[in-house]
Structure 1
Amino acid sequence: MAATYCNLTKAFGFNKHNEYLQKHSYFKRQALSSMQSKISTYNVGIVFHWRYRRVLQLQRRHSYQHVPRATGAELSPTSFENFGEDISKGTLIWRAIKLPIYSVALVPLTVGSAAAYLQTGIFSARCYFVLLASSILVITWLNLSNDVYDFDTGADKNKKESVVNLVGSRTGTFIASYLCLAFGFIGLTWIAVEAGNIRSILFLASAIICGYIYQCPPFRLSYQGLGEPLCFAAFGPFATCAFYLLQSGASVMNHFPLTGTVLSASILVGFTTSLILFCSHFHQVEEDKEVGKLSPLVRLGTKRGAEVVKVTVMMLYALLVAFGLSKALPLTCIFLCALTVPMGNLVIRFVRDNHTDKNKIFMAKYFCVRLHALFGAALAFGLVVARMVNTTFTSRPVFS
């Protein structure tokens, strides 16, 4: 029977039919398997893509949440100076304005006026605010002209917050800067003529000349590493003593003497102002090297520059104590300025810990601005308090 079945199968072509069914079933299984594999691969791809996007989102959120911060201070929009490429136009404009830097106009004026009040007991609010507005115009000239001349040398070619790059006009920025200088100098001269003190004009002219030879051609002494001494002279002895003479010019003493008090105070103001400029070089050492700008940090390196910051801050407070012991400054100034020691210590630690990190170290100049403002306010308040409490402190004339 088995043999008969086999013969019948061969006779009627059942073998071919079976082979056809087997092949058709095989291809069907293969197609189904291929389709299932593609669907599985597609699903895995979707899951992987979703997970990868999720990881990127978490990493991005983590990076923004952990932007480098300095202990004890929050970063402002200006803090992200070199962080990331996409920066809003508003942030760039805010950086270009450099509002915190204008404390260098406020502090010398306030300290000089306080020293005059200690000497005479007189304070002219009108004189103070005209001088403040005029000083702000002069500082605006410094900032704008600095952007113009750095644009010319190529130092600011990659600086997005440069006013020239933002405005798109080198000529317009140049004209605006010198208009600010002209109006500022007119205001300063007006107060000096009213006060009848020609020496103050000489001091102010000397301060402006320091600013000019610091950055303007053909001098550009900042490219030779002489910016800090010029900054010290301009904002320290020259500007502070000039404002002292202009405020004291409201008295009947037209030939008002320069005292040890105002000279000591001006030296301290010069120290804190120069420290701002010094720390502003840390994050642009490579750019300065490319254009041949031999700033102190290019010459010294950031590690030794951090040591210079430490020594400068220590010298600031050592001079404060020395001036107090020599009775050049009243004890109220010594006590109040000593309260700013934590801020000075913060500057030292921040620069020491971050001098190699370009994305963090640019914040050092803003911490120096805070030290400059706090120390200047404490110094001025100490001079005012010394007059108000009627202490026996007497300021000795140095130059009459």
Structure 2
Amino acid sequence: MAAASTAPSVLSIWVGASRPRTLPAAIAPVLAASALAWRDGDFEAPASGVCLAFALLIQIGTNFANDYYDFVKGADTAERVGPRRAVASGLVAPATMKRAMIAVFAVAFATGLTLLAYGGWPLLIIGVASVVCGVAYTGGPYPLGYNGLGDIFVFIFFGLVAVGATYFVQAGVITQEAWIIGTGIGALAANILVVNNYRDVETDAKAGKRTLVVRFGRRFARAQFITGHGLALAALVAVGAGDWHPAFVITGAVVCVVAGWIQSRRLARATGPAELIRLLGQTGMYLAVYALVLSAGLIWG
């Protein structure tokens, strides 16, 4: 009797390449911004749905670009720890991944064009910048992720821009609250990258990938991680202090403090890649929980 095949399916390969653990970074800002629009009486379900699709496609396209360019630049080697990369492991040919990256970004751009009816031409600039920076994260002559700018990219595009643009296409303006929410969401999205780079610090250093943890060390990364949690807490309290019921503010603050303490402790005490891989998933899930808590407070608080 022939042995059962253990080769991964085509679907599982591409799902893995999309890096599901990172997708909360695309979902959270759209959810929170749409909840703010709902509270303000400006919610537009079609526009919110398109924003979600655009954000997910940009995230997946960026992940495909990362898979491709990290292989080309030699960052993904046999020494690397963490989830396997599709190109580096031989599951997907480099040319195939490059075509997939281009296709996903093209669909994202086409999807984003439908938002012009809601927000006008300024959204075209955001769409172009999102695609360009998604590629430039690990590609191009000055890749952001290789020069310590990846964290800033994530904070801006998956925090301030994603929240601000999603709210803008529904309300026609960007309020102070939208910026505050974008700060909290962006800080936690950047924390996902902190954990990822903390895990890969040795192999990144050998490959010349000068992430912040490579440049400044693990102690700096731990301080950055704690700061991200602190910004998220401050943003939630600032938004909730105005008109939420005190119970919502207190509950949200407790969730932030407990999650921040537990995750910061786990980062500091991690002794191997397995713990950091788990923490990476937990950091992404906390971002989703944070967005849900914010949304609940905005709608029912």
Q: Could you say whether these structures have the same fold, taking a TM-score greater than 0.5 normalized by the shorter chain as the test?
A: yes
Structure 1 segments unaligned to the other structure (5+ residues): 1-86, 249-255, 387-400
Alignment partners' CA distance in 2, 1:128 and 1:311:
30
Q: Which runs of structure 2 are paired with 1:365-376 in the superposition (5 Å)? A: 365-376=280-291
Q: Which residue of 2 aligns with 1:273?
A: 189
Determine whether 1:246 maps to 2:172.
no
Percent identity (aligned): 24
Partner of 2:3: none
1:148 to 68, 71, 78: 68
Deviation at 1:323, TM superposition (A): 4.7
**What letter corresponds to residue 363 of structure 1 in structure 2?**
R
Instruction: Return the letter of the residue paired with 1:345.
Output: W
Change (3 A) 1:128 1:166: farther
Work out whether 1:102 is the aligned partner of 2:23. Answer: yes
Residues 323 and 132 of structure 1: is their aligned pair in 2 closer, same or farther, counting only changes over 3 Å? closer
Counterpart contact for 2:183–2:231, Cα < 8 Å: no
TM-score (structure 1 length as normaliser) = 0.66
Aligned to 2:266: 350
Deviations 1:292-343 (A, max 9, x none): 1111111232244223322332343234334545x4x745763453242322
Corresponding residue to 1:263 among 168, 179, 200: 179
* 3-state SS of paired residue (1:363): helix
Note closer, same or farther for the CA distance 1:266–1:204 as it changes in structure 2 (3 Å cut): farther
Counterpart of 2:35 in structure 1 is 114
Question: Is 1:125 aligned to 2:41, yes or no?
Answer: no
Q: Which moved more, 1:344-353 or 1:90-99?
A: 90-99
Q: Tell me if the contact between 2:167 and 2:173 (Cα under 8 Å) persists in the aligned partners.
A: no
The 10-residue stretch of structure 1 (284-293 or 205-214) with the greater mean CA deviation from structure 2:
205-214
Letter in 2 for 1:197: G
Match of 1:217 among 127, 140, 144: 140
CA offset at residue 196 of structure 1? 4.6
Aligned match of 1:297 = 213
Contact 2:65 2:135 in 1 (8 A): no
Moved more, 218-227 or 208-217: 208-217
Gaps of 5+ in 2: 1-5
Distance apart, 1:151 and its partner CA: 0.6
Letter of the structure 2 residue corresponding to residue 156 of structure 1? D
RMSD value over aligned CA atoms?
Answer: 2.5
Change (3 A) 1:317 1:131: closer
Deviates more, 1:97-106 or 1:301-310: 301-310
The answer to whether 1:195 aligns with 2:118 is: yes
Question: Aligned partners of 1:196, 1:231: CA distance in 2, in Å?
Answer: 23
Contact 1:306 1:352 in 2 (8 A): yes
Alignment-mate amino acid for residue 188 of structure 1: G
- TM-aligned CA deviation for residue 371 of structure 1: 1.5
Farther-moved stretch of structure 1 (257-266 vs 96-105): 96-105
One-letter amino acid of the counterpart of residue 73, structure 2 = T
Query: Corresponding residue for 1:392?
Result: none
Listed as ranges, the matches of 1:325-336 within 5 Å are 325=241, 327=242, 330=244, 334-336=249-251
Match of residue 14 from structure 1: none
Distance 1:163 1:273, change over 3 A: same
TM-aligned CA distance change 1:361 to 1:95, over 3 Å: same
> Using a 3 Å threshold, how does the CA distance of structure 1 residues 196 and 321 change in structure 2: closer, same or farther?
closer
Structure 2 Cα separation of the partners of residues 195 and 293 of structure 1: 39
User: Residue 167 of structure 1: which of 91, 100, 112 is its match?
Assistant: 91
Structure with higher RCO (Cα < 8 A, 6+ apart): 2
For 1:331 and 1:203, the matched residues in 2 are separated by 35
For 2:298, the aligned partner's letter is L
Alignment partners' CA distance in 2, 1:315 and 1:130: 28
Structure 2 counterparts to residues 15-54 of structure 1, below 5 A: none
Q: CA–CA distance in 1 between the matches of 2:160 and 2:297?
A: 19
CA 1:139/1:315 → structure 2, altered by over 3 Å: closer, same or farther? closer
